[in-house]
Amino acid sequence: MKEKHTLLYYIKRYKRRYIMGAIVLLVVDILNLYIPQFTGEITDGLQSHSMGMEGVMQGIGKILLVGALLAIGRFLWRFFIFGSARRIECEIRNDLFAHLETLSMRYFNENKTGELMSYFTNDLNAVRMSIGPAVITTFDATILTILVLGKMITHVNLKLTLMAIVPLFFIAGGGIWYGKQAEKRFREKQQAFSDLTDQVQESISGVRVIKAFIQERKEMRAFAKANKNNKDKNMRVVKLQATVMPLLDVVIGFSSLITLFYGGYLTMIGEISLGRFIAFNQYINMLVWPMIAVGDSITFFSQGRASYKRIRKVFLEKAEIIDESEEGQLGKSLADQLKISEIDADNTMQASALHGQITFNHLSFSYHNQNRNAIEDLSLTIEKGSTLAILGRTGSGKTTLANLLLRMYDAEQGMIQIDGIDIRKIPLDKLRKSIAYVPQDNFLFSDTLGNNIAFGSESKDKEKMEEAAKEACIHDNIMDFPFQYGTIVGERGVTLSGGQKQRSSIARALMKEAPILILDDSLSAVDTDTEEQILSNLKKHQKDKTIIIIAHRISTIQNADRILVLEEGKKAEYGTHETLMNENGIYANLYHKQQLEKQLVAQQ
């Protein structure tokens, strides 16, 4: 495994900024040492009457100058290190999102949305704290401790210094235990937050179903349970901190007590001057922060480590559906991938377009962890410019065929060909540009109707948009809206009816102007008159397209060039409407049932 997507990889990309920040921080720490020294010199000068007002003013001037330099230095190290941490956070988030987009549908089927969202929020925030504030805290605490101890030894007294630093060893030992506990508990806390996020996301997305089935109380109890688990895991982290931090204060208190008693004694016997004793106390106060920072650093690093382990698991997931040319991109950054994608896109546009002849050659396919085949030994050819209708019971493999054509999942080599080329040899970009797809769920983005219709098209031309909308029989509805094509449809198109969403999705597919069009049960929510008009428009304006229509209603598909009836993934029947009716099999029985239903409805 390459070093790509390790935390060190990202830090190396900004090593110059980190080095600059470290240098500035070192200068700041050195300057910090002079304030107690200047204070002690002023005290000793006043006590011995060897320093006049001019000397005092000079001393104060030095302190003010050091203070001004400290202010500038503290701004600069924040700019370099905190800025780098923010940039790394942004880069990881971009790379994480880009990587997620490469993963197969299987991964998203097995991982919940709420958990994936928590990687982008809580986990990345913890990582940023570990490479920003934690780095500052650790470096500053270490350097400041060394410099302060050196100054205490050389400028004040060795014995007093040794007595004062004894408690530091207790802090170091306790810090190792605390770090292990903090990482474990924080990992549990992050998982609890993921579960809570997923509970909220799923409940809000399904609020209509919850209300329709009067399940508010049940969902409230489920949320309360997830919320309590989140609270309990957070409390475990807080309790650990609440135990360790006061103990840290006790250790620091012992150090201050030793300084007060022993330092006071040395001052009384004249071994050190009063000014140096005051300076020593200031140095001890300067050591208090590094001692406290030990706990903070361990917390930040432990939390960041736990969070990055979770994020790293996503990066280690391998993309299953890739082009052969993409194998060399897997170790590159998002910026590099985008450049390569732009070049590939240009090359794809220049390459000859697909025409639309589709061949299934003994196609068999099963989903991950399923024993039976979703499609079994299917062989047929769909000629360029023809229409194939697919009919079958729920779970018979109709949508699976659409997913395999789009390479959402991969079949074995040679089982699917387009224009005589193995589908796995066709670049993904070129393949998916050549297929316009209307899925069952008719997903619309929280955007304007116009942008939703133009989503998959290279062009944003309003005339083409309106033409596609007219063919999909949605234009008149859109013109009745207050903002027409500028109407915001809400999350997942919530402001539209089921039929309007379906027709908007059809318009989006038609505007793409691809040689292959797949309609996956896309006319189920429209009335028969509208359905007939849309199918007539397709026949009239989409002559050269290869069209695959997946449907349950015979009226939708009876005029197709060929009709495929699937039964448990197998080709049960295949032919035109007339030949299938003559066979008096599954298709004929279904046709008679639907005709009877239509007559019963008409009589009511």
Percent of all residues in the chain with a pLDDT value above 70, rounded to a whole number: 81
Note the pLDDT of residue 359.
92
Note the pLDDT of residue 1.
39
Note the pLDDT of residue 331.
46
Q: How far is CA 42 from CA 31, 33, 53, 266, 481, in A?
A: 17, 15, 10, 20, 80
pLDDT confidence bin for 347, thresholds 50/70/90: very low
pLDDT confidence bin for 176, thresholds 50/70/90: low
CB atoms within 10 A of CB 339: 12
Q: Rg of the Cα trace of the chain? A: 35
d(CA 300, CA 38): 35
Judge contact between 348 and 360, C-beta under 8 A: no
**Nearest one of 127, 13, 129, 18 to 77, comparing CA atoms:** 18
* Mean pLDDT of the region 579-597: 86
d(CA 407, CA 426): 10
Question: Identity (one letter) of the amino acid at 80?
Answer: F
| DSSP string over 132-194 | THHHHHHHHHHHHHHHHHHHIIIII-HHHHHHHHHHHHHHHHHHHHHHHHHHHHHHHHHHHHH
Percent of all residues in the chain with a pLDDT value above 90, rounded to a whole number: 4
Among 227-231, 235-239, 242-246, 300-304, the minimum mean pLDDT is found in: 242-246
Judge contact between 188 and 238, C-beta under 8 A: no
Question: Identity (one letter) of the amino acid at 326?
Answer: E
Judge contact between 139 and 238, C-beta under 8 A: no
pLDDT for residue 50 is more than 50: yes
* Mean pLDDT of the region 209-228: 79
Q: What is the pLDDT of residues 482-521, one digit of tens each?
A: 888 888 887 777 778 878 888 888 888 888 888 899 988 8
Judge contact between 196 and 230, C-beta under 8 A: yes
| 3-class secondary-structure state, position 121 | helix
d(CA 301, CA 190): 15
**Residue 565 exposure: Cα atoms within 13 Å on the Cβ side:** 21
Q: Is the alpha carbon torsion for 325, 328, 330, 334 positive or negative?
A: negative
d(CA 343, CA 286): 57
pLDDT for residue 46 is more than 80: no
d(CA 84, CA 20): 11
**Nearest one of 547, 494, 556 to 521, comparing CA atoms:** 556
**Residue 406 exposure: Cα atoms within 13 Å on the Cβ side:** 20
Judge contact between 577 and 558, C-beta under 8 A: yes
Question: Identity (one letter) of the amino acid at 99?
Answer: H
Q: What is the pLDDT of residues 293-331, one digit of tens each?
A: 666 677 788 778 888 888 888 888 888 888 765 554 444
Q: Is the alpha carbon torsion for 303, 306, 308, 311 positive or negative?
A: negative
pLDDT for residue 568 is more than 70: yes
pTM, two decimal places: 0.70
pLDDT confidence bin for 286, thresholds 50/70/90: low
d(CA 569, CA 167): 73
